[in-house]
Amino acid sequence: MGALRRFDRDLLVLAAGVLVLIPVPLFLSGFLLEVAIQTLLFGLLGVAWNLMGGFAGQFSFGHAAFFGIGAYATAVAVTDYGLSPWVGMLLGAALAAAFGVLVGFLSFRYGLKGVFFALATFAFAEMLRLISRSLEAVNAARGYNIPIRSGNPWLTLQFPQGSPNYYYVILALLALSLLAVILLMRSRAGTFILSIRENEDAAAALGVNPMRYKLLAVALSAALTAVGGAFYVQYFFFIDPELAFGASVSIQILLPAIVGGIGTTWGPVVGSLIITVLGQGSTALVRTPPPFLEALQGVSGLDVAIYGALIVLVVLFLPRGVFGTLRERLGAA
């Protein structure tokens, strides 16, 4: 009954959250709307990473590989073959899932765990970055500029600058991703994934196939990350190897879950919001500081240093993440 109540509660929170967020574009425009769209995008990427790194316990430092596959698959589909970006998004998700299964199988087959598995995922992402930089079939280091297409903007996923439709698209993608994760983690397969995270040997002794369910988590996590990559390239109309497969991309993807709470349903969403507030706040502080901090105005790189220091403080004092700590203290775990 407890699990059922938690299942119902998560679905109610998801439905209520979507209803609350739908009218947001009525109150935001321009820069603030762009910030809201990027917050939802990194919320989606954090939810995807959390499925593999949090619920399944397989810490990844190379999710840029899946993000880049989704972005490049969409860019190639739209630019080279004239297909709808929705088709590219599905192709990217399928390719990323397949690549994730390959990476996971090779890593798990040879017993890679913990930091060694994280380094293996990083190595695969770097491999894709280096290949894409020199492979002319995907425009090498030049990357792709997405052409403007005519036709129904919902089919081409191209809207006028400042359109709230991008907001609604990424909101729907985030909601569907959360729904998929909630349904998976409340299913029999989700129970097996959690049992493997807690004690893989004990789970295997009880008849659970660790390889099968870890690969399931990796595949779904990779596919959802690729969906985020596909949206990114359609929103910014450009992608290159650094933006797709760079190490900074992997860090940005895992930060929402770490700050919000690894292994919690809502932690990555909360973490994405906090990261956005900290990032924009540090930028605003350096750009227009209060009179007693006037000496800081315009100092190059200071906003990034403040942002990094704030993230470190959150991690040090709230190791379970903001949402994870609140949930623990409120006794709702």
255 by Cβ neighbours in 10 Å (0-12 / 13-18 / 19+) ranks as buried
The answer to the question of residue 257 being in a domain is: no
| Average pLDDT value over all residues in the chain | 91
269 to 23, 113, 251, 260: CA distances (angstroms): 18, 27, 16, 7
Mean pLDDT within 167-173: 97
The predicted structure's pLDDT at residue 172: 97
Structural contact between residues 49 and 268, judged by C-beta atoms closer than 8 angstroms: yes
DSSP string, 65-88: HHHHHHHHHHHHHHHTT---HHHH
pLDDT tens, 122-135?
999 999 999 999 99
pLDDT tens, 194-234?
999 999 999 999 999 999 999 999 999 999 999 999 999 99
Mean pLDDT within 163-167: 94
The answer to the question of residue 230 being in a domain is: yes
Nearby residues of 52 by Cβ (< 8 Å), 6 or more positions away? 58, 60, 63, 217, 218, 221, 222
The tokens describing 149, both together, are 């297409």
pLDDT tens, 24-47?
999 987 889 999 999 999 999 999
- pLDDT for 333 beyond 70: no
Beta bridge partners of 214: none
- pLDDT for 318 beyond 50: yes
The predicted structure's pLDDT at residue 331: 67
* Nearest partner of 32 among 277, 310, 308, 307, judged by Cα: 277
Mean pLDDT within 293-316: 84
The answer to the question of residue 287 being in a domain is: no
Mean pLDDT within 235-264: 94
The answer to the question of residue 302 being in a domain is: no
Instruction: Please state, in angstroms and rounded to a whole number, the distance separating the CA atoms of residues 2 and 296.
Output: 52
What's 20's domain CATH number?
Answer: 1.10.3470
Instruction: Please state, in angstroms and rounded to a whole number, the distance separating the CA atoms of residues 261 and 302.
Output: 27
The answer to the question of residue 298 being in a domain is: no
**In which band, very low, low, confident or very high, does the pLDDT at 182 lie, cut at 50, 70 and 90?**
very high
Instruction: Look up the domain containing 31 and give its range.
Output: 1-244
- pLDDT for 285 beyond 70: yes
The predicted structure's pLDDT at residue 2: 53
- pLDDT for 6 beyond 80: no
Structural contact between residues 275 and 315, judged by C-beta atoms closer than 8 angstroms: no
If you compute the radius of gyration of the chain from its CA atoms, what whole number of angstroms results?
20
Mean pLDDT within 250-268: 93
- Own/partner long-range contacts of 317-320 (Cβ < 8 Å, ≥24 apart): 320/261, 320/262
Helical segments of the chain, H only: 2-21, 30-50, 64-79, 85-109, 114-134, 153-156, 165-185, 188-198, 200-205, 210-236, 241-245, 247-260, 267-287, 302-317, 322-329
Residue 80: other Cβ atoms inside 10 A: 12
For residues 293 and 171, the model is more confident at: 171
Cα angle 322, 326, 328 (rounded to 5 degrees) comes to 120
Instruction: Please state, in angstroms and rounded to a whole number, the distance separating the CA atoms of residues 193 and 246.
Output: 29
Dihedral sign for Cα atoms in the order 31, 32, 37, 39: positive
**In which band, very low, low, confident or very high, does the pLDDT at 7 lie, cut at 50, 70 and 90?**
low
Split into its structural domains, the chain has a count of 1
Among 94-103, 140-149, 313-322, the range scoring the smallest mean pLDDT is 313-322
Instruction: Please state, in angstroms and rounded to a whole number, the distance separating the CA atoms of residues 201 and 207.
Output: 10
Nearby residues of 294 by Cβ (< 8 Å), 6 or more positions away? none
pLDDT tens, 55-101?
999 999 999 999 999 999 999 999 999 999 999 999 999 999 999 99
Structural contact between residues 47 and 173, judged by C-beta atoms closer than 8 angstroms: no
**In which band, very low, low, confident or very high, does the pLDDT at 106 lie, cut at 50, 70 and 90?**
very high
Amino acid identity, residue 121?
A: T
Cα angle 32, 34, 37 (rounded to 5 degrees) comes to 115
The answer to the question of residue 330 being in a domain is: no
* Nearest partner of 40 among 164, 132, 158, 152, judged by Cα: 164
The answer to the question of residue 169 being in a domain is: yes
In the three-class reduction of DSSP (H, G, I as helix; E, B as strand; rest coil), residue 187 is classed as coil
Beta bridge partners of 145: 238
The answer to the question of residue 207 being in a domain is: yes
